[in-house]
């Protein structure tokens, strides 16, 4: 809309072109200059649609932090960095304990931050599964939104609700405690949360599949742009490829982390050392924060393979 509002400045600025707006009888005489001016306007207009206006870095950072998932990446980075420090033998026992508490606190804060995940997953199931796509794409989209969105968050929110109830004095909530014990979930919050991590694992694997399709699409588009000498499209495609690589790094870190937490069901053995849990968490969080940051100025999504035209 803003581009169309600016359109008048692209029209010819000569006195004869100006008179065109006031004297209808001179339209035919000015047709050639108008066509030339409109051609230049269309070219400049298309370039403005491709190149986003530059913004100060601080403004982009603020816009990123004002998004739900952008702020969650910051909380996640602090959570796993604290986990990394808590598992560092170089620090004193007192410092390790402090960072362990900090990591748990930020982890619990992220539970609250993700309360809307179920709604986001439901919206994806209803409106983000393309009707005319191949079955594999439809299935992948359903797994991402249905399992990774709805399944994960329903289980996680159930565990959160039980953990909140468990913080109450049991003597003051006897009927609630009795009901949860009767249902067999009074002391199973950690196990329910562990089951949610398998949903996370399924989502990560499926997104890596979508990312592989998007990479092939970008690679082919880059080859076409290079052959045509289209530097504008090539520049945009290189940025999209870099953002896709950052997403793949995050998803690659998610795979061992999800299995690690899922194996904790019924106090099962962990699969990843604590220090590597912290490293993988920090690397994945920072990688996706950079994606969220760049999304403020670039049109990007993981499923670029479904777009009719990328650049």
Across the chain, which distance is largest between two alpha carbons, in Å?
92
| Sign of the four-CA dihedral 41, 46, 49, 51 | negative
Q: How far apart are CA 152 and CA 202, in angstroms?
A: 10
pLDDT at 140 over 70: yes
- In angstroms, the CA 290 to CA 288 distance is 5
Smallest CA-to-CA distance from 196 within 292, 69, 111, 123 is with 111
CB contact at 8 A, 269 and 232 = no
pLDDT on residue 65: 87
Q: Are 145 and 107 in contact (CB under 8 A)?
A: no
Distance of CA 110 to the CA centre of its chain: 15
Residues with Cβ < 8 Å from 151, sequence gap 6 or more? 121, 196, 199
Supply the pTM of this predicted model.
Answer: 0.77
> Contacts by 249-252 with C-beta closer than 8 Å and gap 24+?
249/283, 249/284, 249/287, 250/284, 250/285, 250/287, 250/288, 250/291, 251/204, 251/207, 251/208, 251/211, 251/284, 252/208, 252/284
Q: For residues 198 and 282, what is the distance between their CA atoms, to the nearest angstrom?
A: 20
Q: For 253-275, how does the pLDDT look when each residue is reduced to its tens digit (9 = 90+)?
A: 999 999 999 998 877 888 899 99
Cβ neighbours, 10 Å, residue 97:
12
Residue 106 has pLDDT above 60, yes or no: yes
Q: How far is CA 243 from CA 144, 145, 214, 295, in A?
A: 19, 21, 11, 9
pLDDT surpasses 50 at 95: yes
- Alpha carbon distance 59, 62 (integer Å): 5
Residue 26 has pLDDT above 60, yes or no: no
Q: Express each pLDDT in 141-189 by its tens digit.
A: 999 999 999 999 999 999 999 999 999 999 999 999 999 999 999 999 9
The answer to whether residues 47 and 232 touch, using CB atoms and an 8 Å cutoff, is: yes
Task: Please state whether 267 falls in left (phi above 0), alpha (psi between -120 and 50) or beta.
Answer: left
pLDDT tens column, 3-22: 333 333 333 344 444 343 33
Range with the lowest mean pLDDT among 63-72, 204-213, 236-245? 63-72
Instruction: State the pLDDT at residue 32.
Output: 45
Q: Indicate the range of 51-55, 105-109, 137-141 predicted with least confidence.
A: 51-55
Q: Which long-range contacts (CB under 8 A, 24 or more apart) does 168-177 make?
A: none
Q: Is the dihedral of CA 115, 266, 201, 275 positive or negative?
A: positive
Confidence of residue 113 (pLDDT cuts 50, 70, 90): confident
């Amino acid at each position: 809309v803003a581009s169309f509002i600016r359109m008048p400045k692209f029209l010819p600025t000569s006195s004869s072109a100006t008179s065109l707006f006031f004297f209808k009888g001179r339209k035919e005489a000015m047709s050639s200059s108008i066509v030339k001016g409109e051609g230049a306007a269309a070219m400049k207009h298309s370039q403005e649609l491709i190149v986003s206006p530059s913004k100060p870095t601080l403004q982009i950072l603020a816009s990123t932090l004002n998004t739900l998932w952008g702020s969650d990446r910051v909380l996640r980075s602090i959570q796993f960095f604290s986990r990394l420090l808590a598992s560092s033998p170089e620090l004193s026992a007192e410092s390790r304990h402090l960072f362990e508490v900090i990591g748990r606190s930020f982890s619990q804060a992220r539970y609250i931050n993700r309360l809307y995940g179920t709604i986001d997953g439901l919206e994806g199931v209803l409106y983000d599964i393309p009707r005319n796509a191949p079955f594999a794409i439809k299935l992948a989209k359903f797994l991402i939104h249905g399992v990774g969105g709805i399944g994960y968050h329903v289980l996680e929110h159930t565990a959160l609700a039980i953990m909140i109830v468990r913080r109450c004095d049991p003597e003051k909530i006897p009927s609630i405690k009795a009901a949860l014990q009767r249902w067999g979930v009074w002391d199973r919050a950690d196990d329910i949360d562990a089951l949610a991590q398998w949903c996370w694992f399924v989502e990560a694997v499926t997104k890596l599949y979508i990312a592989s399709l998007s990479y092939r699409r970008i690679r082919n588009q880059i080859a076409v742009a290079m052959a045509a000498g289209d530097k504008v499209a090539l520049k945009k495609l290189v940025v999209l490829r870099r953002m896709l690589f950052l997403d793949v790094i995050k998803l690659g870190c998610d795979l061992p982390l999800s299995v690690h937490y899922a194996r904790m069901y019924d106090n099962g053995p962990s699969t990843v050392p604590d220090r590597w849990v912290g490293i993988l968490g920090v690397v994945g969080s920072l990688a996706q924060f950079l994606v969220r940051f760049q999304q403020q100025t670039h049109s990007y999504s993981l499923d670029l393979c479904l777009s009719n035209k990328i650049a």
